[in-house]
Structures are given as structure tokens and as C-alpha cells.
């Protein structure tokens, strides 16, 4: 089984989306616990994340690994639903903020977060703060993740945080931001809990804060 | 004192001119200013100008003669309105367009329709094939400052087989020159060349890597790179063959009058690193781009500029090897793009056109004093030995205060002398 799990990890790291689904199904048929497969996915994404941070891997490899991991999670979902263990590490409400219709970064985050075992509620793009507040009330997430690609829309990340405060919801949430123009300093300035330069760093930071 | 054209030429040839040349809006894709920021700048100086948008996707406005003189600008775009192609004609060919709360002017032929919930859709007004002009190519949400194509128009998103890739679809960044359009452009270029001493830039629009991604979409592109490379190769082939035809027409029309021809966009990097492994880029894309560079070099005396955003240091030596003279926009605000290192490693072999002010973090948000410090620091790093044309890193964004734009140009004028 260990060899099979290692093989699955290898195909995630290589971004071989087609092969991972087959391997995941085989592992389940052989009686592998779904939780062990999720742990292997997480390890694979950690390896990919480290390679990405140090310049060994590029955006292409990050995205392919995220796609592969997400496909495996889709295979595992029914099995995970039937276990008594806590199904997911955390629930995340994710969106691109108002005024911004870019969804590439958000899509990569969604893939990697799902692949890492998070339950992701994707609100889409150009999402007004009021809609984020409504989603938080409905979904009761652990995390709100906000993406912005433009200098003219990143300010809306702060507006979302302020609206969550007004609604009395802020204190029970981990708020993480990302996107090309934002950084740690901006995250601190607007009262976010974390900033992540890439989705795998985002997974790590959320886990530290949970 | 040198003319602007002499100044820019010396800089590109890695000789120190009298002062650092300045560009503002000459490199018309990424060296300019959003219409809303320009409107504020115009009001700041108490001027009464129509805000004319020449790029309806990015909503860019061309700075008027007042600002070219005020800021000491040396470069103009070949698209710049001139008397022959004319103010009178241009007046007739612009129409009102309301962006958020501002009244702008856009070229009359731009086809924008309003959809549900106040969104707007742009159609392929530019297509030579009239039957394709109804294609929706971009969308603007009600609160957005731009149009964007990626969420609504990915023509090859569902393609899996090479045999499905028969021809290129219309796209506002794939050139389709008309004879009449090139005739007008030639008249414009000739007038600018003979009646001004500006250096003249022309964006050919011939791009390969970035356009491949736009046509396939990121997901399909990455999957194909891994498991179906023939699809990527076919798209590259379609683009290079099309671009060679269009580029030849463009160069034949205006090549005699331009000093710089741009290729791209060839955005190779994200904020943190290359989009794909440079090794894969060299195999699949570099040869095609080199064909375009070689064509410009063999048909004209123009310098070749590549536009490539992002964290792209691993590719710069390839640009040099390919014979590219200029790299724009030099996004020093991205990761691993330290300006000292870039100048030290590449400064003798390629001209930096950009890198002069951080348009992501400083220019829109900092105080005018901090903007000045940022600009002065960057100019001092890039200017020694020539090989530098000042431009802010990318288009000035809508929220940028006019005081900061003024501070930027005051700063560069204070330190530009050699």
C-alpha cells in the first residue's frame, strides 16, 4: 500500500491528472483509508509548494498538481462522507472581490485548497461585500479567502473585512488574502489574518491559524 | 542639445545621451495612463480636454501635447492623432462613452452593448471577416474600470484535437490590418517622423506565448503542455504564420518611419515566477518569436522591443540571444527582479524600457515624497551607461492621484541629466 501511495504522490507532483484518478480508485478498491490518501495528497502539495517557492517548479506545475489533487478529492468525497471522522480540515468561503472579474488565481486556489482537504465554497468573481457576509452567515466557514488582481480592487478586501466586523462575524473567522498587488504589509494594514503568495502557502498558513 | 529621437537612439545603443529619455504613452500598450487617471490629471492642471480612449480594453488615454512638454516626454506612439489624419476627422470618429461616472470618448467603431445587470459586452468590431464581428470578445462588469476577455472569451477552451484547430478566431490582440487602416497609419507615421523630433514607437501586436494562453485558457494550456503538446504546437504555428503575414504588411507600411517596433505581449511571468519552465518555452515558443524578431530586423532599421510582464529574469538572456534590443516593462515589483541585479547582469546587452516607478505599490498609494524617492532611486540604478528609457512599470492605474504622477515626473526630471 505504501508503494501505491508513493506512486500517487509522484503522479500528483508530476501533474499527471489522468493517471491520478485511476490510482486513487485502485487504492480505494484495495481498502486504503481515505484519510491516508488525503494525507498523501497533502504531502505531495507540500513538496510542490516547496519546489515552487525555490524556483524548481513554475505556475504550470503548481496548477497541474492542484488539478490532480482536486480530481483525487472528487474520487474520495463519497468515501469520506461515509466515515465518522471529521471530513474536512476546514471550510473556506472563497471569492474574487467586487469590481474584479479575474478568476485564474482564485481557480488555482480552489483546486489546491480542495486537493488539500478543505471544503471550498466558491462565490465566484466580482462579489460585493454584502454577498460575502451573507455567505458567511449561511455556510458558517472557518476561513474567508479573498482574491484581488488589481490595485483598484484590492481596497475591496478591506471593505469585506469591515463589513464582517459590522455584522459581528469577524472574530470567528480566519481571513486570508492573496493576489498580485497585495502583500504582507497590506494584509496587516487592512486587518487580515494572513497573506499568501501562492495557494500552497495559503494552506500552510490556514493550518497554523486553525 | 539632442533631439528626442537622437536621445532615445543613443540610449538604446548603450551610449549616455544628454539626459535619460522619457516615455509616457509612447509605448501605447503598457506605458500610458488609464482614462480615469488621465481625467483627474487634466482637472488637476485646470485644463479642458476631451478624454479620448485609444485602447478600449484597457481604457487608455493618450497624453496631450501639454503633458508631453510638461513632463519632458521623448516618445510618441504611431497611433497618435496628427493633423493629416486629423483632429477634424478624429472628432467625427469618436463617440461618448460613460465609464463609471466619467464621460470619455471612444472610437466610433467600437461595438459595446449593455447586457444584464449593467454589464457591457464588446464585440469583434475589428475583424476583417464581417461574419465574425458579432463575436463577444470582452466584458465589463458594472463596477469595473476595464474590459476583460478571459472570463468570457476563450475560443479554444474545448478543443482536444489538432484537427479542430483550423484557423485563428478574431481577437483584439491578434492583428488584422486593413489596407485602408494601414494607409492612414502610414500617413500618420510619415507626418510624425517628418514634423516632430519624437522617437516613434509602433506596437505590431505580433505575439505568441501570451496569445496561446488566451486562446486555450490557462487550464487547457497547462493540461496540453503536459499531455497533448501537439495542440500547443498547432496554436503556435497558427499564430506565427498569421503574424508573419500581418507583420510584413505593418512593417511595409510604417517601418520606414518608426524607430522602435514592439512584439508581444509576451508576458512570461506571474508576480512570483515564470508561468512555465523556461526549458519548455525555449522548445515550444522561442523559435516562433525569433522568426518575428528576424523579420523586423531584416525588413527595417527599427529596434525591437519585447513586452513581457512579471518575474521573468530567467528569460532575459534569451531575449538578448534572439537579438531583441529592448525589454519592457521591467516589473521590478515582482519577485526575483532586483533592479541592481538586472542592471549588473543585463545592462550592457539590453535596454530597460520601464522599471522607473512601482505602479503596483508606490505610485498609486504612497505620498508624493515617497513616489519621488522611489523614482530617483530607480533612475540612479538604471541610468549609467545608457540602455535605459524611463517609463513607469505599467499603465498608470485609475486610482492614482494626479499629485503622484506629477511627483514622478518631477523626480525623473531632477535626476535625468548625465
The predicted complex's ipTM stands at 0.90
Cα gap B280→B221, rounded to integer Å = 13
| Among candidates B227, B277, B397 on the partner chain, residue whose Cβ is nearest the Cβ of A58 | B277
Q: What is the pTM of this model?
A: 0.93
For residue B22, list its beta bridge partners: B390
CA of A204, closest CA in chain B: separation in Å? 18
Cα gap B353→B342, rounded to integer Å = 13
Examine residue B364 and say whether the peptide bond preceding it is cis (omega within 30 degrees of 0): no
Cα gap A87→A21, rounded to integer Å = 20
Tens of pLDDT, residue by residue over B254-280, are 999 999 999 999 999 999 999 999 999
Q: B60-61 and B53-55 as β-strands: parallel, antiparallel, unpaired?
A: antiparallel
- In tens digits, chain B (418 residues) has pLDDT values of 899 999 999 999 999 999 999 999 999 999 999 999 999 999 999 999 999 999 999 999 999 999 999 999 999 999 988 766 654 454 568 899 999 999 999 989 899 999 878 899 999 999 999 999 999 999 998 888 999 988 789 999 999 899 999 999 999 999 999 999 899 899 999 999 999 999 999 999 999 999 999 999 999 999 999 999 999 999 999 999 999 999 999 999 999 999 999 999 999 999 999 999 999 999 999 999 999 999 999 999 999 999 999 999 999 999 999 999 999 999 999 999 999 999 999 999 999 999 999 999 999 999 999 999 999 999 999 999 999 999 999 999 999 999 999 999 999 999 999 9
| Among candidates B144, B223, B364 on the partner chain, residue whose Cβ is nearest the Cβ of A99 | B144
Closest residue in A to B37 (Cα–Cα): A152
Q: Which H or E run contains B264? A: none
pLDDT at B275 (0 to 100): 96
Contact B267, B309 (CB under 8 A): yes
The average pLDDT across A38-59 equals 91
| Confidence bin at A34 (pLDDT 50/70/90) | confident
Decide: helix, strand or coil at residue B418. coil
Closest residue in B to A185 (Cα–Cα): B361
Contacts of A102 in chain B (CB under 8 A): 148, 150-151
% chain A with pLDDT above 70: 96
Query: Per the CB < 8 Å rule, is A63 touching B365?
Result: no
Nearest to B27 by CA among B63, B69, B65: B63
Q: B60-61 and B75-77 as β-strands: parallel, antiparallel, unpaired?
A: unpaired
| Confidence bin at A152 (pLDDT 50/70/90) | confident
CA of B182, closest CA in chain A: separation in Å? 34
Cα gap B80→B62, rounded to integer Å = 7
Query: Per the CB < 8 Å rule, is A52 touching B276?
Result: no
Contacts of B271 in chain A (CB under 8 A): 180, 197
The DSSP result for B41-108, as a single string, is HHHHTT-----BEEETTTTEEPPPHHHHHHHT--EEETTS--TTT-HHHHHHTEEEEEETTEEEEEET
Ranges of beta strands (E only) in A57-152 are: 91-96, 119-122, 143-147
Q: Does A15 touch chain B (CB under 8 A)?
A: yes
Q: In what order do the strands lie in the sheet with B303-307?
A: B75-77, B199-203, B260-263, B303-307, B326-328, B351-353, B388-389
pLDDT at B88 (0 to 100): 47
The DSSP result for B140-154, as a single string, is E-TT-SS-BSTTT--
Q: Which H or E run contains B307? A: strand B303-307
Cα gap A65→A49, rounded to integer Å = 10
Determine the straight-line distance between the first and last CA of chain A, rounded to whole angstroms: 31
**Residue B366: DSSP 8-state:** S
Query: Per the CB < 8 Å rule, is B273 touching A52?
Result: yes
**Residue B210: DSSP 8-state:** H
Contacts of A63 in chain B (CB under 8 A): 218-219, 222
Is residue B70 packed enough to be buried (19+ CB in 10 Å), middle (13-18) or exposed (0-12)?
middle
pLDDT at B165 (0 to 100): 96
Tens of pLDDT, residue by residue over B87-125, are 445 456 889 999 999 999 998 989 999 987 889 999 999
pLDDT at A83 (0 to 100): 60
Closest residue in A to B227 (Cα–Cα): A16
Cα gap B294→B290, rounded to integer Å = 6
Closest residue in A to B360 (Cα–Cα): A181
Q: Does A140 touch chain B (CB under 8 A)?
A: no
Decide: helix, strand or coil at residue B364. coil
Ranges of beta strands (E only) in A66-139 are: 91-96, 119-122
CA of A162, closest CA in chain B: separation in Å? 19
Cα pseudo-dihedral B261, B76, B24, B29, rounded to 10: -40
Cell of B393: 512599470
Contact B412, B356 (CB under 8 A): yes
Contacts of A100 in chain B (CB under 8 A): 144
Closest residue in B to A197 (Cα–Cα): B272
Cα gap B270→B245, rounded to integer Å = 30
Amino acid at each position: 500500500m505504501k508503494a501505491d501511495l508513493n506512486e500517487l504522490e509522484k503522479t500528483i507532483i508530476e501533474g499527471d491528472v489522468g493517471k491520478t484518478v485511476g490510482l486513487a480508485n485502485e487504492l480505494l478498491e484495495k481498502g486504503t483509508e481515505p484519510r491516508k490518501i488525503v494525507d498523501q495528497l497533502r504531502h505531495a502539495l507540500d513538496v510542490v509548494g516547496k519546489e515552487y517557492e525555490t524556483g524548481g517548479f513554475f505556475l504550470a506545475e503548481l496548477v497541474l498538481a492542484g488539478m490532480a489533487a482536486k480530481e483525487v478529492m472528487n474520487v474520495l468525497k463519497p468515501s469520506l462522507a461515509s466515515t465518522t471522522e471529521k471530513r474536512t480540515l476546514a471550510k473556506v468561503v472563497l471569492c474574487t472581490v467586487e469590481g474584479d472579474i479575474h478568476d485564474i488565481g482564485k481557480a488555482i486556489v480552489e483546486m489546491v485548497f480542495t486537493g488539500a482537504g478543505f471544503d471550498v465554497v466558491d462565490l465566484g468573481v466580482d462579489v460585493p461585500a454584502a454577498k460575502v457576509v451573507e455567505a458567511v452567515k449561511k455556510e458558517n466557514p472557518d476561513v474567508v479567502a479573498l482574491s484581488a488582481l488589481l490595485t483598484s480592487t484590492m481596497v475591496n478586501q478591506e471593505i469585506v473585512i469591515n463589513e464582517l466586523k459590522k455584522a459581528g462575524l469577524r472574530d470567528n473567522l480566519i481571513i486570508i488574502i492573496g493576489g498580485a498587488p497585495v502583500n504582507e504589509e497590506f494584509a496587516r494594514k487592512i486587518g487580515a489574518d494572513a497573506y499568501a503568495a501562492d495557494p500552497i502557502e495559503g494552506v500552510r498558513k490556514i493550518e497554523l491559524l486553525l | 542639445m539632442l533631439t528626442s529621437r537622437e536621445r532615445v537612439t543613443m540610449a538604446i545603443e548603450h551610449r549616455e545621451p544628454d539626459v535619460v529619455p522619457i516615455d509616457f504613452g509612447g509605448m501605447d500598450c503598457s506605458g500610458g495612463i488609464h482614462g480615469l487617471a488621465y481625467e483627474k490629471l487634466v482637472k488637476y492642471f485646470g485644463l479642458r480636454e476631451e478624454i479620448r480612449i485609444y485602447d478600449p480594453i484597457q481604457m487608455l488615454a493618450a497624453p496631450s501635447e501639454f503633458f508631453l512638454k510638461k513632463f519632458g516626454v521623448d516618445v510618441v506612439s504611431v497611433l497618435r492623432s496628427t493633423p493629416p489624419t486629423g483632429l477634424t476627422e478624429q472628432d467625427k470618429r469618436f463617440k461618448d462613452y460613460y465609464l463609471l461616472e466619467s464621460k470619455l470618448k471612444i472610437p466610433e467603431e467600437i461595438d459595446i452593448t449593455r447586457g444584464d445587470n449593467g454589464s457591457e459586452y464588446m464585440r469583434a468590431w475589428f475583424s476583417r471577416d464581417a461574419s465574425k464581428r458579432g463575436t463577444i470578445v470582452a466584458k465589463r462588469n458594472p463596477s469595473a474600470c476595464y474590459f476583460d476577455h478571459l472570463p468570457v472569451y476563450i475560443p479554444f477552451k474545448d478543443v482536444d484535437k489538432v484537427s479542430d484547430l483550423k484557423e485563428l478566431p478574431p481577437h483584439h490582440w491578434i492583428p488584422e490590418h486593413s489596407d485602408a487602416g494601414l494607409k492612414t497609419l502610414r500617413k500618420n507615421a510619415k507626418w510624425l517622423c517628418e514634423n516632430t523630433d519624437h522617437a516613434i514607437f509602433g506596437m505590431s501586436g505580433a505575439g505568441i506565448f501570451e496569445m496561446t494562453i488566451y486562446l486555450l485558457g490557462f487550464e487547457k494550456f497547462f493540461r496540453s503542455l503536459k499531455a497533448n503538446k501537439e495542440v500547443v504546437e498547432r496554436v503556435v504555428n497558427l499564430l506565427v504564420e498569421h503574424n508573419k503575414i500581418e507583420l510584413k504588411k505593418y512593417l511595409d507600411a510604417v517601418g520606414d518611419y518608426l524607430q522602435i517596433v514592439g512584439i508581444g505581449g509576451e508576458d512570461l511571468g506571474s508576480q512570483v515566477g515564470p508561468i512555465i519552465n523556461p526549458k519548455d518555452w525555449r522548445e515550444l515558443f522561442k523559435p516562433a518569436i525569433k522568426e518575428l524578431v528576424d523579420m523586423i530586423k531584416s525588413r527595417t532599421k527599427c529596434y525591437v522591443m519585447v513586452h513581457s510582464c512579471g518575474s521573468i529574469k530567467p528569460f532575459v538572456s534569451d531575449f538578448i540571444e534572439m537579438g531583441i534590443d529592448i525589454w519592457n516593462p521591467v516589473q521590478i515589483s515582482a519577485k526575483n527582479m532586483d533592479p541592481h541585479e538586472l542592471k549588473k547582469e543585463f545592462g550592457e546587452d539590453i535596454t530597460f524600457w520601464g522599471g522607473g516607478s512601482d505602479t503596483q505599490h508606490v505610485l498609486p498609494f504612497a505620498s508624493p515624497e515617497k513616489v519621488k524617492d522611489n523614482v530617483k532611486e530607480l533612475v540612479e540604478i538604471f541610468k549609467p551607461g545608457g540602455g535605459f528609457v524611463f517609463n513607469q512599470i505599467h499603465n498608470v492605474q485609475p486610482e492614482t492621484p494626479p499629485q503622484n504622477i506629477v511627483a514622478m515626473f518631477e523626480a525623473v526630471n531632477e535626476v535625468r541629466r548625465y
